[in-house]
């Protein structure tokens, strides 16, 4: 646990009692604060009480006696409208923060500052690939024998990690919800993977979404910024952060284009990762045979993780060896079975069209499972990749909308993912890939993308596919 500093003897309201909210209550108490915990959900309040956390109805709060409000990432604080408790805190002039802000505020202690090798924090954000990038960085460090913990939007809540030891690297995945509200953001190394439309209702449009991501770099001034430049936003931000073209504090990364110039550039083309410094190549890695990193989108993730490892002083060959043993994350281009020459790929994390497009580009002869709660634009942007799709199997709330956007391309509509999977299995032939890349949120039929992915795996098993 990371005890929260700066609120000793003072009351701090905690709104939202999920994983991060409960951890925040414990960390505040450990630091000597008095947490006032609340959640509008009776079920969440019951879970908190079962853990011995005292509840305090914020509708009756005396905000003049409260030092700060800490809110969970899922609770709206600005758009489309702030939560009523949060609005009351703002009206009273009470500072609003989240667990990420508390973590950065409390990470450095007298003990860590006195270490010969103080621990470092790497923070990863972006629209797609941040979970895989975070996990790959953690894997590389662990494989090389360097102590590391992984937390944030993946795995453990940031305040629940163990106090860092000398030389340790904490690797955080941070969503736009987390970076937008945190009052402190001071990573040693910050990574921006890419940007595509997502969560626009929460950020008031694309500009607000980009601004939320950009705060990770603008607020704390990381020692090293690793920026994906395949979209104009990343290219713009890299230009803003660098003092000159040769400024090595900014590492530009790309998947698909060769990066030139006198700076520090890392890019992947045709399955090969290349590192250039001062206009000269210093390393190259063949990514094509790495089973945990299929497709161009994962090659971008590899570039980002490689850049972090190099920034921390790792030798290229050690990084390559570590990457080769990475098996990938569940629900992200995950090979779940292979039978009769047919591969079954679970990419349930592809919750928008952009991430689904990256999955479609990674495979051929695809029987594509798509559907759920579609987002703005649906799947219209995926038309260029339909030559890879033998047939689409559409399910859930947006199935008919997706069907209209597919036009004459072969497709069929089903009520459920299970029905769609059974049909794809029955029609698949040797050389095909049955791919779940929904291009939609899961909340019409599942609590989250993980549950949707598990349902797909169960349906594949029920269809008598044999695991390798």
Separation of alpha carbons 434 and 344, rounded Å = 5
Let me know whether 391 and 312 are in one domain.
no
For the domain that residue 28 is a member of, what is the CATH number?
A: 3.40.50.720
Within this chain, do residues 318 and 341 fall inside the same structural domain, yes or no? no
Q: What is the mean pLDDT of each run of 10 residues along the chain (468 residues)?
A: 96 94 96 96 93 94 97 92 96 97 92 90 94 96 96 90 95 96 96 89 92 92 96 96 94 95 95 95 94 87 98 96 90 90 94 91 95 94 97 97 97 97 96 97 94 96 64
Domain contains 1: no
The answer to whether the annotation marks 131 as part of a ligand binding site is: yes
- Judgement on whether residues 115 and 208 belong to the same structural domain of the protein: yes
Pairing of strands 366-371, 433-436: parallel
Question: CA angle 72-136-223, nearest 5°?
Answer: 70
Q: What is the reported pLDDT for 295?
A: 83
Residue 5 lies in a domain: no
Q: Is 24 annotated for ligand binding?
A: no
Residues 222 and 346 in one domain: no
pLDDT of residue 62: 97
Distance from CA of residue 144 to its chain's centroid? 23
In this structure, is the dihedral angle defined by the CA atoms of residues 140, 142, 148 and 150, taken in order, positive or negative? positive
The answer to whether residues 355 and 314 belong to one domain is: no
Confirm whether residue 128 is marked as ligand binding. Answer: yes
Does residue 56 form part of some domain?
Answer: yes
Query: Which residues are part of the catalytic machinery?
Result: 130, 153, 199
Instruction: Tell me: do 385 and 250 sit in the same domain.
Output: no
**Same domain (yes/no): 63, 164:** no
Within-domain flag for 4: no
Boundary residue ending a domain (304, 324, 344): 324
- Within a domain: 154: yes
The predicted model scores a pTM of 0.84
User: Which CATH number covers residue 216?
Assistant: 3.40.1190.10
Q: Which domain holds residue 189?
A: 103-324
> Is 258 found in the same domain as 179?
yes
pLDDT of 468: 42
What is the domain count for the chain? 3
Domain stops at, among 77, 97, 117 = 97
359 lies in the same domain as 280: no
**253/267 Cα distance (integer angstroms):** 5
Instruction: With respect to residue 32, please indicate whether it lies within any of the assigned structural domains.
Output: yes
Task: Single out the residue in 97, 131, 156 at which a domain terminates.
Answer: 97
CATH number of 360's domain: 3.90.190.20
pLDDT of residue 156: 87
Distance of CA 82 to the CA centre of its chain: 24
Q: What is the largest CA-CA distance in the chain?
A: 68
Q: Does 83 share its domain with 120?
A: no
Cα–Cα distance, 325 to 330 (Å, whole number) = 15
Looking at the structure, do residues 59 and 111 belong to the same domain, yes or no? no
In a domain, 6, yes or no: no
Q: Is 127 annotated as a binding residue?
A: yes
Q: Does residue 198 sit in the same domain as residue 296?
A: yes
């Amino acid at each position: 646990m990371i005890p929260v500093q700066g609120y000793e003897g003072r009351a701090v309201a905690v709104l939202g009692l999920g994983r991060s909210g409960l951890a925040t209550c414990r960390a505040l108490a450990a630091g000597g604060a008095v947490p006032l915990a609340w959640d509008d959900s009776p079920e969440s309040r019951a879970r908190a009480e079962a853990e011995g956390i005292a509840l305090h109805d914020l509708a009756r709060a005396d905000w003049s006696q409260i030092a700060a409000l800490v809110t969970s990432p899922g609770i709206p604080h600005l758009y489309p409208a702030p939560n009523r408790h949060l609005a009351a805190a703002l009206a009273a002039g009470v500072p609003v923060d989240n667990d990420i802000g508390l973590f950065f505020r409390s990470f450095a202690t007298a003990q860590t500052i006195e270490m010969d090798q103080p621990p470092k924090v790497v923070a990863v954000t972006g629209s797609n690939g941040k979970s895989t990038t975070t996990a790959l960085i953690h894997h590389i460090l662990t494989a090389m024998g360097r102590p590391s913990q992984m937390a944030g939007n993946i795995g453990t809540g940031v305040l629940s990690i163990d106090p860092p030891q000398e030389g340790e690297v904490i690797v955080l995945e941070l969503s736009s919800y987390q970076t937008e509200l945190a009052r402190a953001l001071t990573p040693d190394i910050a990574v921006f993977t890419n940007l595509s439309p997502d969560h626009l209702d929460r950020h008031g449009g694309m500009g607000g979404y980009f601004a939320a991501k950009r705060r990770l770099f603008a607020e704390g001034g990381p020692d090293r910024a690793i920026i994906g430049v395949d979209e104009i936003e990343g290219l713009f931000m890299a230009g803003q952060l660098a003092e000159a073209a040769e400024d090595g504090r900014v590492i530009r990364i790309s998947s698909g284009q060769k990066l030139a110039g006198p700076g520090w550039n890392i890019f992947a083309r045709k399955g090969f990762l290349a590192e250039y410094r001062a206009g000269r190549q210093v390393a190259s890695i063949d990514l094509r045979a790495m089973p945990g990193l299929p497709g161009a989108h994962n090659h971008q993730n590899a570039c980002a993780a490689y850049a972090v490892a190099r920034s921390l002083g790792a030798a290229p060959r050690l990084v390559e060896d570590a990457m080769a043993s990475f098996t990938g994350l569940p629900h992200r281009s995950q090979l779940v079975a292979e039978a009769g020459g047919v591969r079954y790929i679970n990419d349930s994390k592809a919750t928008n069209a952009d991430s689904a497009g990256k999955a479609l580009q990674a495979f051929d002869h695809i029987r594509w499972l798509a559907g759920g709660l579609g987002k703005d634009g649906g799947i219209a942007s995926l038309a260029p990749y339909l030559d890879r799709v033998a047939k689409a199997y559409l399910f859930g709330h947006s199935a008919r909308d997706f069907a209209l956007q597919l036009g004459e391309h072969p497709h069929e509509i089903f009520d459920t993912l299970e029905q769609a999977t059974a049909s794809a299995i029955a029609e698949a032939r040797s050389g095909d890939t049955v791919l779940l890349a929904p291009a939609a949120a899961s909340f019409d039929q599942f609590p989250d993308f993980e549950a949707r992915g598990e349902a797909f795996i169960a349906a594949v098993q029920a269809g008598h596919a044999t695991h390798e």
